[in-house]
Amino acid sequence: MFARRFLSLCLILLLSLLLPVVGGQAAPVDEWSPAGTLTAADGGALHHFGVAVTIDGNTAIVGAPGWPSAPGARPGAAYVFTHNGTTWVERTRLTASDGQHGDAFGNSTMLVGNVAIVGASQARRGKPGDPDFGYGVGAVYSYTGSGATWNQEAKLMPVDLVEGNLFGASLAFDGETLVVGAPYGDTGHEAVYFYTRRAGGWDGPVKFASPEPTVDNDFGEGVAVAGDLALVGAPGIDCCDAHAAFTKGIVYVFARHGDVWSPAGTLSPSDGRLGDNFGCDIAFNGATAVVAACQANGVAPMHPGYAYVFSHAGDIWTQTARLEPEGDATGSFGIRAVALAGDQLVLGWPSAPPDYSTDRLYPYTRDGATWTASEPIESPDGPEDTGFGWHLALSETHLLAGAPYRAKLNVAEQGGVHAYGQPGATTGHAIYAPIIASPGLESPDGLIAYEGFDANEQRDIFLIRPDGTGKLNLTHSTPQREASPAWSPDGARLAFTESTPTGPTLLVTTNTGGGDRRVVPLDDELYPHSPAWSPDGSRLAFVGRTGATRNDVYVVNLDGSGLVNRTPTMAGRAQSPRWSPDGTKLLFVYDSGSGPLQLAVVGATSGNVVMLTDDDIPHGSPDWSPDGTRILFSTQAGDFTQSLMTMPAGGGEPTLLLANATMGRWSPDGTQLVFVGDDGGLFRAAADGSHVTPIDETPDVFSPDWQP
């Protein structure tokens, strides 16, 4: 799927029916039921939310190329939504790190697994006055993440683009191959670019220029890819006369042999006509291709838009059907979007017949080789020009239709996305479903311990592998509540706190199977929490209550002896202690009671508290890097969003690693991080914040720690 330029093309009559037409008679197949409307929480006039929409599983990304970053600046944005089994919920907003006014970021979107691709087809190159400056060159951005936590990974902008190329006007991505269309610009500059996803980012691009370089043919306006085959539409090409005023269009096939892509033939309709614009949109799943022949309104008489279905065996492609919604012999603003998922197909037709003013969707279901139409879906906004039907995303359980010109509360062209679902379809994430890591981030050894809730809403300690598999409830205790797991230096035991509604809080250690339970004997009035092992494994640091208004950092031997308060002169409260790797210092969060939470250190055996930060924003959940040179911590902005930062171990200028993230911990070798998303869920990423990968998308998870 891709974001389309609204074309205005003339039509003339030339009918040649060589295959049966599949019309619009209703059939007894599952109907799509309305499931609400997606809108942006910060939506406003001219946002055009819904210009692009894509879906994978229960996650959707919606483009809003008119989103403003400031008054007079509209770089654009893309919004992430997830389906919770009942409704669609906005999770976060994606923007380009270097976005500028008019970039049209969000004009196209793609999503496969935890990799999101967003086009900014109007992005400029350089600055006015630069030798290579150009408007409308275009760019594409990739992100990794899940739920509310996403990280910008790369910006793609080939060096040979020309002004007006609109690189990123169309996108296709199958998880390995990314195809980007640059279908406009001066004659001879239309092209598509192939990228391959590898560990660490993207290989490529491999460029294919238009096979007809002497005519503006919109090569790359429609693109699709699956496995070793890619399809590229050129709706502006006429098969017989390159200079014809009205164009038929053609689709070029590319095949990969080994690691090499090369041309592999063409597709064209059996009854193609001048003005068809065949190839304006393409859906392809590796076995079946559906190609729209868009057709726009023009001089009378007008023709309906068709969608053509092709199958292939080896190198042979066969046209198997021509779909004509309504079976109407006249049309206006013909088929503009095609979406395919399994045996379901939906066509989008803005201003569909018979009244030419109501936007409409046409669903089909395949049984064998036969496509049967079900009842059309009319725009919920009525006979209003909202763009409903120009932009579609389809899975086997969800259908999303963008309406980017939809008004909301009299706010013009704010945009929306209308959602539909299949009756009886199961949706939502299974709590224990494994989530596989993305290419480019190896899954290291060890387990991750964290606290969460079981099916009865009891707080327990869980273990999970870094690749998201093998989730295990370690404690399974009722009515006890466990929290703040911490691994021993040898990875053989876990320390955590345990409490009941009526009993004291205990400091407990167990082995990795939950057995050999040992309680550290402490005064019941201490109420210990946030334990941390000393590097030699002989002691635990924790926060305990000192009086009614104080929390201090304590150190104790495992048998309860040698209890020492390391912050007795501190005026405020302590949180979250962590040992330095050499065992000489304790890092913790300091709450003075009169300002934001700050970071501080104190000697493990002697010395006074030393402040590391003195900022106007709160800090939390600190951790030393394994080599002791840096500190990882979270901050909270004025809008209450959390970010992960690092700074030198002795204090100094912080560096942003990840937005929408908190509770970070280093992997034992320091190459990766585990953290909690700002809106929940457990993730990991490379130490530089790249390659964000989900581990467990259960919302209520806390306090992760990585097994040495």
> What pLDDT, in 10s, does the model give residues 510-530?
999 989 999 999 988 899 999
The answer as to whether 82 is a domain residue is: yes
Question: Which residue's structure tokens are 């009614």?
Answer: 548
> What is the CATH number for 208?
2.130.10.130
pLDDT for 682-697, tens place per residue? 999 889 887 888 899 8
Chain centre to alpha carbon of residue 448: 23
Q: Between 4 and 699, whose confidence is greater?
A: 699
d(CA 576, CA 338): 53
d(CA 527, CA 480): 15
pLDDT of residue 303: 59
- On whether the CB atoms of residues 234 and 249 are closer than 8 A, the answer is yes
- On whether the CB atoms of residues 62 and 81 are closer than 8 A, the answer is yes
Shared-domain flag, residues 227 and 270: yes
The answer as to whether 222 is a domain residue is: yes
Shared-domain flag, residues 338 and 463: no
pLDDT band for position 443 (cuts 50, 70, 90): low
Q: Between 360 and 230, whose confidence is greater?
A: 230
pLDDT band for position 577 (cuts 50, 70, 90): very high
Task: Give the C-alpha distances (Å, rounded to integers) separating 625 from 442, 449, 620, 647.
Answer: 19, 18, 15, 10
3-state secondary structure (DSSP) of residue 613: coil
For the chain, the distance separating the N- and C-terminal CA atoms, rounded to the nearest angstrom, is 44
14 has a pLDDT exceeding 80: no
pLDDT for 16-39, tens place per residue? 223 334 443 333 345 899 999 999
pLDDT band for position 648 (cuts 50, 70, 90): very high
pLDDT of residue 274: 78
Within 13 A of 265's CA, how many CA atoms are on the CB side?
10
Shared-domain flag, residues 409 and 539: no
Mean pLDDT of 464-473: 92
Shared-domain flag, residues 90 and 209: yes
pLDDT of residue 638: 62
Question: Which residues, 6+ apart, have CB-to-CB distance to 296 below 8 Å?
Answer: 7, 8, 9, 10, 11, 277, 333, 334
Which range in 51-55, 271-275, 304-308, 607-611 is most confidently predicted, on average pLDDT? Answer: 51-55
5 has a pLDDT exceeding 80: no
Mean pLDDT of 603-622: 92
> What is the CATH number for 653?
2.120.10.30
The answer as to whether 442 is a domain residue is: no
Shared-domain flag, residues 511 and 409: no
Write out the two tokens for 115. Answer: 């990799």
Shared-domain flag, residues 414 and 537: no
Q: Between 500 and 284, whose confidence is greater?
A: 284
Number of domains in the chain: 2
Q: Reduce the secondary structure of 77-100 to three states and give it as a string.
A: EEEEEEECCCCEEEEEEECCCCCC
The answer as to whether 557 is a domain residue is: yes
Q: What percentage of the chain carries pLDDT values higher than 70? A: 87
550 has a pLDDT exceeding 90: no
pLDDT of residue 186: 77
Q: What does the chain come to in residues?
A: 708
Shared-domain flag, residues 230 and 273: yes
Mean pLDDT across the chain: 85
The answer as to whether 430 is a domain residue is: no
d(CA 248, CA 239): 7
Shared-domain flag, residues 129 and 251: yes
pLDDT band for position 195 (cuts 50, 70, 90): very high
- Enclosing domain of residue 454: 448-706
pLDDT for 297-339, tens place per residue? 333 345 567 899 999 988 899 999 999 886 444 444 578 899 9
The answer as to whether 396 is a domain residue is: yes
Shared-domain flag, residues 514 and 412: no
d(CA 208, CA 219): 10
Mean pLDDT of 157-182: 96
- On whether the CB atoms of residues 566 and 555 are closer than 8 A, the answer is yes
Task: Give the C-alpha distances (Å, rounded to integers) separating 542 from 459, 520, 590.
Answer: 20, 12, 14
Instruction: Choose among 24, 29, 19, 15: nearest CA to 325.
Output: 24
Shared-domain flag, residues 464 and 388: no
Shared-domain flag, residues 273 and 364: yes
Shared-domain flag, residues 197 and 332: yes
